[in-house]
Amino acid sequence: MIKPRTPPGVMELLPRDQIAFQRMLDTIRQTFERFGFLPVETPVMELSEVLLTKTGGETERQVYFVQSTGALEKGATDGMPELALRFDLTVPLARYVAEHEHDLAFPFRRYQMQRVYRGERAQRGRFREFYQCDIDVIGKDSLSPRFDAEIPAVIAAVFERLAIGDFTIQLNHRKLLRGYFEGVGIEGEQQFTVLREMDKLDKRGEDAVRETLAGEGFNLQADAIEKLMAFARVRSNGHDDALAKLDALGTGTALFEQGRDELRGILQQLRALGVAESRYALNLSIARGLDYYTGVVYETTLDAHPQIGSICSGGRYDNLASHYSKSKLPGVGISIGLTRLFYQLREAGLVTTAESSVDVLVSLLDDDGLAHALALSQRLRAAGLNVETQLEPRKLAKQMQYADRAGIRFVVIRGEDEIARGVIAVKDLRRGEQFDVVETELAATLQVEREQLRTQGLPA
C-alpha cells in the first residue's frame, strides 16, 4: 500500500483554512474589479520557446518541463521538451498581449489570479506551487505615468480590505537610481549589476554589500560606495517629508531629474486619490533585481511583521512584449504571492481558521421529518442562505457535535415539542444560545443574525 503524502513544496489546506484562503482571493478579486481591471486566465502550460525567451540562469533552472508518457515511450527526449509550466504570470501576459493585440482595447487593464510553478528547494514558507495575484496596465506605444500612481492606490485598497495589519507601500524609481549612479560615475551595464547588488541590502546588510561593491567585478571607489549607501538610507515619514527628502537630494543628471519629477507626481496623485499618507513612503534602497523595470518600483511590507518581507511588489517597464511583437507595449503592474503570504500570516497568527461557508444545518431527528427538512432547506437556500441537510436521523447531540466541528454556526431543530408549539428551534453554536422562531420568519431571522455578527467584525 502506498503511503498518502503531500509532495514537498505545496500548500494543501483543510476545508476551513481553504475557506479563509478563498475569502482572501475573493477580496483581492473584488478590489481589482472595483478599479476597472478585467480577468484573464492563461494556460498552466506554455510553449517552452515562448516561456524561456526572457529568462536564463536561476529562473531557467527552476522551470518544470511537461512531457507526456507517450512521448517518453517513443524516446522523444532529445532537446528541450515542447511545453513547460509557467513560473510567473508576466511572461504569459506578454505572450497574451502580443497574440491578441488587435483584439484588445488599450490601455489594457488585466488581473490574473492563478497558480505558478517553480523548482524551489523545499523549505518552510517557500513553495513550488503557489498562487500569484497580478494586475497590470498595458499601453500601446505609450502609457501615462499617472497609471504609476493608481497602482499603489489599488494595493492600499486591497490590504485595507484584507485587514491584516498596518502596512507601508515603499516607493523608489529606477530612473532616479540610475541617474544617481551616473552622477557617481557608474555607467552602462555596470548599473544593472550594481542595482542587483543594492537590492540585497535588506538581506545581506550594508557591510556585506559594501564589501562586494569594493571587490572583484565592481571595484568601486570608497567615496562612491559611501554615496550609494547614504542614498539608500533615505526614508520618508509622511507625505510632506517625502517631498522634502526628494528636494534634499540636490541636483542631478537629466535622468535623475526625470525620475524625481515622476516620483513627485505619484506622491501628489496618491494624495488626490485619498490614500492615507501613513500607507506610503520613499525607500531609496529598493531596486527590484529584475532588469526589465525601468521606472517606479513598489514593495509593500507589514509594519508589525517586517520579517515576512515584501507582501506585494512590482513596478513600471518600458516594453512588455519586445520578444513577441514589434509594437511598443509599456506597462506597470504588481504581484501578490498569496500562498506564501497566507502561510506567513497564519504562522504569525494574523489569519485564523474560518467559519464554514455553510450557514445552517437542518437537523433530522427521525425519518418522518425528512420531507419537511428537505422542503425547509430549499426555502432557506432560496432566501440566500447556504444550507446543509442532515439526510439520515442521528442523535441531536451528534448532529450538534458535527456542526460545531465543521464550523457551521446555526442548527435548525424541529422535534415533537417544536411541532406542537408551531415553531422552529435555532441553536446558535457561536453564542451558545437557543431560541424559537415561527417557520415563516426563519430565513429572515437567520439573515439578520448573520449580518449582526458581520457588522460586529466577527466571523459569520
Determine contact, residues 81/48, Cβ cutoff 8 Å. Answer: yes
Classify residue 215: in a domain, yes or no. Answer: no
Determine contact, residues 195/177, Cβ cutoff 8 Å. Answer: yes
Question: Which range has the worst mean pLDDT, 209-218, 241-250, 332-341?
Answer: 209-218
Q: Grid coordinates in use for 282?
A: 520613499
Supply the pLDDT for residue 219.
81
Classify residue 315: in a domain, yes or no. Answer: no
Q: Quote the mean pLDDT of the chain.
A: 90
Distance in angstroms (rounded) separating the CA atoms of residues 134 and 92: 12
Mean pLDDT of 213-224: 85
> Between the CA of residue 263 and those of 148, 223, 234, 243, 424, what are the distances in Å?
9, 27, 14, 9, 62
Q: Parallel, antiparallel, or unpaired for β 293-302 and 312-317?
A: antiparallel
Reported as a pLDDT band with limits 50, 70 and 90, residue 60 is: low
Res. 198: pLDDT tops 90: no
| pLDDT tens-digit map of 314-341 | 999 988 888 899 999 999 999 999 999 9
Distance in angstroms (rounded) separating the CA atoms of residues 295 and 338: 25
User: Which residue has cell 497609471?
Assistant: 147
Distance in angstroms (rounded) separating the CA atoms of residues 12 and 10: 6
- The answer, yes or no, to whether the previous bond of 107 is cis (omega within 30 of 0) is yes
Better pLDDT: 188 or 31 = 31
Better pLDDT: 29 or 196 = 29
Question: Which range has the worst mean pLDDT, 52-66, 181-195, 308-322?
Answer: 52-66
Classify residue 437: in a domain, yes or no. Answer: yes
Classify residue 116: in a domain, yes or no. Answer: no
Res. 77: pLDDT tops 60: no
Supply the pLDDT for residue 4.
93
Q: By C-alpha distance, which of 292, 277, 344 is closest to 91?
A: 292
Mean pLDDT of 117-123: 82
Question: Which range has the worst mean pLDDT, 58-67, 405-414, 440-449, 450-459?
Answer: 450-459
Q: Grid coordinates in use for 20?
A: 479563509
What percent of the chain lies above the pLDDT cut of 70?
95
Determine contact, residues 338/28, Cβ cutoff 8 Å. Answer: yes
Determine contact, residues 79/38, Cβ cutoff 8 Å. Answer: no
Reported as a pLDDT band with limits 50, 70 and 90, residue 58 is: low
| pLDDT tens-digit map of 360-414 | 999 999 999 999 999 999 999 999 999 999 999 999 999 999 999 999 999 999 9
| pLDDT tens-digit map of 33-45 | 999 999 999 999 9
Mean pLDDT of 231-243: 94
Mean pLDDT of 197-223: 85
Reported as a pLDDT band with limits 50, 70 and 90, residue 199 is: confident
Reported as a pLDDT band with limits 50, 70 and 90, residue 458 is: very low
Res. 161: pLDDT tops 90: yes
Classify residue 417: in a domain, yes or no. Answer: yes
Report pTM. Answer: 0.89
Cα 134–Cα 136–Cα 275 angle in degrees, nearest 5: 85
Res. 56: pLDDT tops 50: no
Mean pLDDT of 147-152: 96
Q: Grid coordinates in use for 235?
A: 526614508
Which CATH number do you get for residue 407? 3.40.50.800
Res. 109: pLDDT tops 50: yes
Supply the pLDDT for residue 69.
79
Reported as a pLDDT band with limits 50, 70 and 90, residue 135 is: very high
Structural domains of the chain, count? 1
Classify residue 444: in a domain, yes or no. Answer: yes
Res. 459: pLDDT tops 60: no
Classify residue 326: in a domain, yes or no. Answer: no
Question: Which range has the worst mean pLDDT, 113-117, 159-163, 226-230, 271-275?
Answer: 226-230
Reported as a pLDDT band with limits 50, 70 and 90, residue 57 is: very low
Q: By C-alpha distance, which of 174, 151, 450 is closest to 275?
A: 151
Supply the pLDDT for residue 188.
82
| pLDDT tens-digit map of 264-303 | 999 999 999 999 999 999 999 988 766 678 999 999 999 9
Better pLDDT: 75 or 179 = 179
Q: What domain range is 439 assigned to?
A: 360-455
Res. 455: pLDDT tops 80: no
Res. 133: pLDDT tops 70: yes
Better pLDDT: 194 or 412 = 412
Classify residue 439: in a domain, yes or no. Answer: yes
User: Which residue has cell 515603499?
Assistant: 170
End-to-end CA distance of the chain: 42
